[in-house]
Structure 1
Amino acid sequence: MTTAQQSPQSARSLTWTRRRASVSRFWATYRSHRAGLLGLAGLALIALVALLAPLLVGSDVQSVTTAPGSALEAPSDEFLLGTDQFGRSLFGLLIWGARISLMVGLLAAFLSVAIGTLVGIIAGHFGGWFATVLMRITDWFLVMPTLVLAIVLATVLDHSIWTVILAIGVTSWPTTARLVRAQTLAVESRPYIERAKALGGGHGHVMSRHVLPNVMPLVLAQTTLGISNAILTEATLAFLGLGDPTLISWGGMLQDAREAGAVSSGHWWYLAPPGIAIALVALSFTLCGRAIESVLNPKLGAGR
């Protein structure tokens, strides 16, 4: 094998070695954040329960025609969290609802972060009047209430889970765009960017090979924080009756509890479990996001 053939392999091997070392350093630092570990353990447990839902409670728990109990039974040995107005086990519905709530949170956050990252990098790289137009559009979305825009989209479009994901994703990206643009401007001012351009690197090369890797830590932290906001927004939309009525989600369970009069009749077991589950998932993602921020930017951890 010639030296020319060995060189690309050596470069790739060196790259992967550095990446593995970087991941090891990240995990070693992350483990020192007890709150971050607690949030990660909570997310792992909830995700595992959601994935194993068919094995834990079965798929027929959602059916209103084969409900095993009577309406609004209090918690008991047979029904750990009681039943809903159709006689379905609230424990089983809570586990099945985790699948939808987590899916909406993940996909909506990824869509939001993808749009914000794209807009932020383009605006920071090109500058000029084009960046000014993009930032004015971003400012318009930023000052408009996100929930109001999401409600408008969810009302106009069909009531489906994809509509909820789209409504959350296209209304919550401005904060990410602002942060990524600021980071892009900082990266673009570094000398190696000028060298890359002098060596013939085009816009696509500079943005994908130099800017994007440097803003990815910020994007990762923003994603973890955005997931919790997306889950809360999905729960709000479902509570307002704008979710998919054919699917079980935690927000949909709160909407069903409201329609069943659980608040006025004192059926606390109908309201408390989904509300606590939403709060715990949002808290877990927030703890993970804060820990990642502290790892990637040690100055934040020193200031807290």
Structure 2
Amino acid sequence: MSISRRIDGYLTRLKQVDSDDVKREARISYEFARGVFDIVNSNRLARIGMVLLALFLIVGLFAPLLAPHGAYERQIADDGSWDRNAAPSLDNPLGTTASAYDVLSQVILGTRVALIAGILTAFFVGGIGTFAGIVAGYYGGNAGNAIMRLVDLAYGVPFLPFAIVLVIVLGASLWNIILAISLILWRETARVIRAEVISIRELAVIDAARASGASDARIIVHHIFPKVLPTAVLYSVFAIGWAILAEAGLAFLGFSDHEMISWGAMLQAAYNSQALDQRLWFWIFPPGIAISLLVLSVYLIAQGIEEVVNPQLREV
């Protein structure tokens, strides 16, 4: 039996299971999760994305141990002066910056900042957007209208000016950048989840659950949330990529915590030091390539997850 048919079989059994049969529901949910992973893992590009992301996670987790030098540790030349704009060498495999910082160490340590920004933003975007979408879609009425007006308002707010103003007011820090990104990106997740919930609440299984006396909370947790979870995960993964790009962009503009090294801050330093005019490619390319590869890994994984959300994309 193909992976596609197995996953559809799990969904069908999950819809038919008795809401009081907790053990059977848990077992089928586990099988469903395994089926989702099988679908994602069957996508070759998604596998490449998972390998890339795993490498970045390892680097980010062990960054202080892998970095040969501190992010702001000056490199000293043989004559005792700062070793500025030095070409790649054994001591500094990617050379040094105009301030005599080791480029490789900054790239490695900047990985953690990018991952924190991406993962935390995905958590907040997925959580807020899914909660808002479920409430708006399931209950509707004044609550649903109020939430959708907030979504419309979020769509009307330009991201970059909003993020800059918020960071200026609250202070330049990674956490405020994450807050600014999350307050904007949750809108699309909420709108898509709401549309799915509106169609799900009309299913016969929902009517049967209500007739059996199930509370709204139980219906949402056991019947609605599992069905919208793949979509929530998909948009959360997309949010990781957007957050990484947004954090790098804001850092490049100077709206970041200067005590934390990030890839965007590295590019800003290279730009301010006219590294491009001096053709210091060993300084410019590494953070740019790191941003591109990390975002690419996320979007490759999202492509695999999209096959779960849209069965028509699956290979037979």
On whether the aligned pair clears a TM of 0.5, the verdict is yes
Matched, 1:147 2:186: no
Q: Please, which of 218, 230, 236 is the counterpart of residue 217 of structure 1?
A: 230
- Are 2:40 and 2:301, in contact at CA under 8 Å, matched by a contact in 1? no
Q: If the length of structure 2 is used for normalisation, what is the TM-score?
A: 0.86
- Are 2:135 and 2:143, in contact at CA under 8 Å, matched by a contact in 1? no
**Aligned-pair CA distance for 1:139:** 1.2
Large movers: runs of 4+ above 6 Å: none
Identity %: 36
Matched, 1:176 2:150: no
Q: Which shifted more, 70-79 or 226-235?
A: 70-79
Paired position in structure 2 for 1:7: none
Matched, 1:54 2:64: yes
CA 289–123 in structure 1, closer or farther in 2 if over 3 Å, else same? same
Paired position in structure 1 for 2:131: 118
Residue by residue, what CA displacement relative to the aligned partner does 1:81-134 show, whole Å, maximum 9, x if unpaired? 111122121011100000111111110121122111111111111112332222
Report the RMSD for the aligned CA atoms in angstroms.
2.0
Q: Please, which of 33, 49, 55 is the counterpart of residue 43 of structure 2?
A: 33
C-alpha distance in 1 between matches for 2:163 and 2:228: 27
Paired position in structure 2 for 1:245: 258
- Are 1:123 and 1:130, in contact at CA under 8 Å, matched by a contact in 2? yes
CA 92–237 in structure 1, closer or farther in 2 if over 3 Å, else same? same
Q: Which shifted more, 67-76 or 133-142?
A: 67-76
Name the SS for the 2:307 alignment partner.
Answer: helix
Which residue identity is paired with 1:72? N
Matched, 1:67 2:75: yes
Q: Please, which of 185, 191, 214 is the counterpart of residue 201 of structure 1?
A: 214
Matched, 1:130 2:149: no
Matched, 1:229 2:238: no
Q: How many residues align?
A: 292
Residue by residue, what CA displacement relative to the aligned partner does 1:222-280 show, whole Å, maximum 9, x if unpaired? 11111011100000010010111100111111111122221233222221110110011
Q: If the length of structure 1 is used for normalisation, what is the TM-score?
A: 0.90
C-alpha distance in 2 between matches for 1:127 and 1:146: 28
**Aligned-pair CA distance for 1:209:** 2.6
C-alpha distance in 2 between matches for 1:131 and 1:205: 19
Matched, 1:256 2:264: no
Name structure 1 gaps, 5 residues minimum. Answer: 1-9
Paired position in structure 2 for 1:42: 52
- Are 1:193 and 1:210, in contact at CA under 8 Å, matched by a contact in 2? yes
Name structure 2 gaps, 5 residues minimum. Answer: 1-19, 78-82
Paired position in structure 1 for 2:3: none
**Aligned-pair CA distance for 1:191:** 1.3
- Are 1:72 and 1:82, in contact at CA under 8 Å, matched by a contact in 2? yes
**Aligned-pair CA distance for 1:36:** 0.4
Q: Please, which of 287, 293, 298 is the counterpart of residue 300 of structure 2?
A: 287
Name the SS for the 1:87 alignment partner.
Answer: coil
**Aligned-pair CA distance for 1:173:** 0.8
Name the SS for the 1:264 alignment partner.
Answer: coil
